[in-house]
Each structure stands twice: as C-alpha cells, then as structure tokens.
A and B are shown apart, each in its own frame.
Chain A
Amino acid sequence: MADNKGVMIYTEVVNGKLAPIARELLGAGRKLADNLKEELSALLVGSGVANVAAEAISFGADKVYVVDDPLLQDYRTDSYVAVVEKVAKQVNPRVLLLGQTTVGRDLAPRAAFRLGTAVTLDCVALEIDATTKQLIQTKPVYGGNARAIYTMETMPQMATVRSKAMTALAADASRKGEIVTVPAGLDPAAIKTTVLQKVVQEVEGIKLEDASIIVSGGRGIGGPEGFKELDALAKMLKGAMGASRPPCDNGWVSDTIQIGLTGKIVSPETYIAVAISGSSQHLAGCSGSKNIIAINRDPEANIFKEARFGVVGDWKKVVPAFQTKAKELLGK
C-alpha cells in the first residue's frame, strides 16, 4: 500500500490538556515523521476537546484531526474504536501510535483489526528502517526479562508506547499547523457499555509520577505496619511511597501505588527500593529511575544489579538508622 503516508498520534486528553504520554508520543512521532520526510498528525477524540488542538501543534503536530462529540464524553471501546477506524481510513497514515494507557491498550487491538493490520503493545523503542521504511518496534517481553523486535507488512503500522519511554519536545506556541474537524457519525445503539461511575482513589501528598524521590517497599516489608515507616521516610524526604506487586495483592497498601509492569511507571531522580528483590516485572516500572538505591537482606538479590548504591541488611534496622542520619544531615 504505497499510498499510506505520514505518522499519526492518538493524543489522549486529561483534565482539558494533553496527557504527558501524548506529548511524549508527539516528540517521538516528530522524529519518525522527519526521518520519513512526511507529515505528523494528531488525532484528538472526546467531548469538548477541540481547544486542545493548539497544544498538540505546539508540541510538534503539523495537522490535528478533531473529533468532538457529546457521545465521546466517556471513553468507551465501541465508540472510540469506530472513530479511530473512520479517521485512519480517511487519512491512511503509514504509522499510527497510541499510549500504553488504560485507553490505548483497550482501543489499539480492536482498531488494528478493523484496519486490517496488527499492533505491538507497550513499545519502548521505535525507529524507521532506512531502506524498507518499516517501523521497527521494540517491546519488553517475559515480564521484562527479554526484549523482542517486531515489524509488520500491513498498514498502518501500529504500536502503543510505554509511558516515559520517549521524550516530549519543548512547547513552541509559534508553531503553525492545520486543524481539521471530522464528524464522529456515531450510532448510539452500537455502543454496548455505559460508564456508571468514575472513582478517583486519591493518594495524599505528592503523586508518584511527579515525585523526585520515591521510597518503595516489597514483599519483605511483611505487612501494612512496615509501610507506615516507609511512608514516614518518604514524607521526611518530601517524596512519595510506592510498592511492588505483592504488598498490593496482599492488601497491605492501595493498588494505586503499585510500581511495575502492571502498575505505574516512574522515573524519579532517586528510587529507594526497600526489601524488594528486583523481579523483572517490578523493574519494568522503575528502571527509568535516574538512581536506584537498594536495601535488601539478600546480597544476591537482583535489585543490586540495577542499583547505584546499596546496603545489605535487614530493613527494620537499616531504615530507622538511615532516616535518623538523613534527617540530621538535611537539617530537618
């Protein structure tokens, strides 16, 4: 299909602004489009999202397709897949990228099927092959133990991209771009789900995604009591507390602070991993941290392979002594 041209980004909107992943995708898409010497477009879908188009242009889009309809108020698979199918068939992009988010992972596989193509979910690297112009897609597999590289012959070549794997451009309000409005043309009867309620489970204090210091605990913490100590340390350091999967699955802490393949992906300046063995599934969420500090009783624990500094010892002794000394040195 030689007539497929350009790179299209599905740009998610959160609270009336481009989601961070949308900005990162526009940054990555800009590079791919420049490499192909083709256009970068953004696809903006929702209700009351038209005014975000200018932001998409400032972050790198040449063209923004806006589908704004009251039926698109909530994300629902049936309506959103129909919209992506419609616009992609109209524009025929060579590459179509989405974020590996709650929405992207739900939307991309079905949209790919409708378009007669395939999609690779959760990519961490994308490049264009110089000779074939194919999109080379790299994604972690086996819980992060390995990486696989995929290509596809069908168009558009689709991928979802992991949060924080790509870098956004600095916003440039002087950038020029074109805004194209596309009617949604939805049949309400074809939408088989209804969102009854949206529950936000607020975590007090600094959000994990925004924290520059994270104190995170694993299975070795042993129960909810220990996490109170980690929380106190995180607060003293003006950071946030996270956890690997076992403490969340055991109900010691809220699911919303889970860091890993099936939780949040974070990239703080300092990530203090306490009693975390360093399974691949956990590292998938924290390996983007600038500095990992490991506290673990087992000198062979995998986390030490990832860490810059470490202490081998029982966290029950190490954490209080560390907190006392840090407090003294930081004058708090």
Chain B
Amino acid sequence: MNMIVCVKQVPDPEAPPASFKIDPATNKVVPPPGVAPVISPFDEQAVEAALKIKDAKGGKITVISLGVNLLRDVVKKPLSMGADELILLEDPAYVDGDSWSTAYALAAAIKKVGQFDLIFCGRQAADWDSGQVGSCIAEILGIPQVTLAKKVEVTDSKVKVEKVTADGYEVVEVSTPALITVSNEIGAARYATIKGIMAAKRKEPITWKPADIGLDASKIGAAGRRSKMVKLFQPVREGKCEIIKGENEEDAAANLAKKLVEVKLL
C-alpha cells in the first residue's frame, strides 16, 4: 500500500487567544513571539491514519508539505512518528494561494511521486479552516474521496471508511486510488519514538521547486487564486461578564442559581 499524506505547518492553534494579532496593513496574522509553529493537528491525525494502515498491512508513507520557512523540526515530525519520505514544496511562489492553487501544486507533486493507493489530508487546516484542499486534490486527480474519516481499514483491494455524520457515522466502501480526509474523532496521533526521532534527524527531505513538478509560477500560490481575500479582522468581544460572588465557592454557586432563576434563564 503506497500512501501519501499532505501536512501543513501552521501557527500553534493552542496558543492563548490573547496572543492572536493581525497586521491590518497586510491582512496577515502576526505569529505570536516565542510560540513555535506546529503541524496542523488534523494533518497529524491524517499521518496517524496512514500509520495505522502501515502497522496492519505494511506499506510506504510519503509526506508532502507546502509552504515557506518550514522548520525542519516541525515538518520532520511525521518521519519521527514512522513515515518514510518527506517532500517539501518550499518556495515563495507556492504560498498565499487559495485551496485551488494550493491543491494544484500538491496534485502535481503527487503525480510526480507516481504510485499511490491512498492520499490522506486533515479535514481542514488550523489556520484558514478552508476545508477544501483534500477535495480539490481528489478532483484534480480524478479519484474518489471520502471526507471526515474517523476510522480507515484496508481489506483486499477495497478501503472501508467510517465517515462522521451529524448523528453518528456511515461506513463507506471506496476503491483505490482514493483520497481520505481525516477528522479528530480518529483519536490522538501517536508520539514520536526515540528511534523515530533519530531516523528523522538523519533523513533529508526532498525539495521540489515549481519547475521540478512542471508548474508555471503564474498558476500557483497567490497568482493562481480564484477567490480573493478582501479583509482579515478580529471580531470585537463585548466582555461584560457579571461575576457572581459569595462567602465561598458554594455560596457563590447558590447566588448564581438565584440570579439565573430571577432573570428566568433556568
């Protein structure tokens, strides 16, 4: 089973909300000082989904990451978890795209990798939350997709996916090659092992520039966008919380109950 996982380096979504800042002049997010970027959590879980299949059936996992200023310690994490190869699409021409221009570059890289049975992506990236890149890759490659997976199993030539729905899940069977997007319900991604970290240290990623995958710089990244971002802003929070007090915690709790009954909220 040849598997490809697309992962994205993003500002740490667990950073405190108070540290989140936007530069209105450039419509860009100012990374909080001292907080290292991470692999988008859903993408890490996509790596986990591929590793579970490798554990059960064997196979090779190639990870692809697109961006600039990719920190090696960050993007090598999938290798330290057990993935086999890392390809970086690292060039200014690739970035600031929309889902389409990003998927266009990733699909071209996947074509160059050549052999694949399953492609995994996270359900959405923790920065733009666009939730489309996986579907766009599948569409460009002309292969079926199953989105929001919480379990993926390979049986013979078919793949069985548990897909999260509003009131439970569906079991969907899909032929290969296929693209699967992974949701958080799949569970926490495994930790890197010491052996994995050592192996990842020795492994050098392969970097492909646009010309290496036969792409014209005018069709990728910001130049290839179909949708335009007009403005980025932080919604204003009102922050008028009335803190209910008491002699102790129990007393404050009773006062809260009184207040809520009084204003008819219970």
Contacts and interface: CB of A to CB of B under 8 A. Distances in A.
A118 interface: yes
B256 A306 contact: no
Contacts of A319: 253
Interface stretch (A60-68, A167-175, A187-195): A187-195
Interface string A315-332: 001111110111001100
A234 to B, nearest CB: 12
Contacts of A313: 249, 252-253
A278 B235 CA distance: 15
Contact of A322 (B135, B144, B174, B257): B257
A151 B231 CA distance: 10
Interface in A80-115: 101-102, 105-106, 108-110, 113-114
Contacts of A78: 144
Contact of A106 (B128, B147, B243, B248): B147
Contacts of A317: 248-250, 253
A122 to B, nearest CB: 7
A237 B260 CA distance: 12
Main secondary structure of the interface of A (DSSP, over half): mixed
A142 B129 contact: yes
Interface residues of B, number: 85
Given A142-B127, A196-B172, A293-B260, A101 B166 contact: yes
Contacts of A194: 172-174
B157 interface: no
A78 B143 CA distance: 10
Contacts of A150: 227-230
Contact of A147 (B145, B164, B232, B251): B232
A256 B147 contact: no
Interface in A126-172: 136, 139-143, 145-154
Interface string A280-308: 11000000000101110001001011111
Interface stretch (A24-32, A34-42, A176-184, A198-206): A198-206
A105 B266 CA distance: 36
Contacts of B257: 321-322, 325-326, 329
A135 B262 CA distance: 44
Given A262-B123, A310-B242, A102 B22 contact: no
Contacts of B256: 293, 295, 309, 311, 318, 322
Contacts, number: 257
Contact of A119 (B132, B165, B172, B239): B132
A47 interface: no
Contacts of A262: 123, 183-184
A308 B259 CA distance: 11
B167 A200 contact: yes
Interface in B103-154: 123, 126-132, 135-136, 138-140, 143-148, 150
A210 interface: no
A198 B226 contact: no
Given A109-B135, A145-B234, A198 B147 contact: no
Given A109-B132, A305-B237, A329 B227 contact: no
B233 A147 contact: yes
A145 B228 contact: no
Contacts of A302: 16-18
A326 B250 contact: no
A311 B260 contact: no
Nearest to B135: A109
Nearest to A203: B167
B265 A197 contact: no
Nearest to B165: A102
Contacts of A248: 184-185
B104 to A, nearest CB: 10
Contact of B231 (A149, A199, A314, A321): A149
Contacts of A33: none
A295 B249 CA distance: 10
Interface string B149-187: 010000000001001111111111111001000011101
B29 to A, nearest CB: 7
A319 B257 CA distance: 10
B22 to A, nearest CB: 6
Contact of A193 (B127, B146, B232): B146
B188 interface: yes
Given A118-B98, A147-B232, A102 B164 contact: yes
A120 interface: yes
Contact of B239 (A281, A295, A305): A305
25 contacts: A102-B147, A105-B148, A109-B132, A109-B136, A110-B139, A113-B140, A118-B226, A119-B227, A120-B130, A147-B234, A147-B235, A148-B231, A150-B228, A151-B227, A201-B167, A201-B168, A270-B265, A278-B17, A293-B256, A310-B241, A312-B243, A318-B252, A318-B253, A321-B249, A329-B266
Interface of B: 11, 13-14, 16-18, 20, 22, 29, 98-100, 123, 126-132, 135-136, 138-140, 143-148, 150, 160, 163-175, 178, 183-185, 187-188, 226-235, 237-244, 248-254, 256-261, 265-266
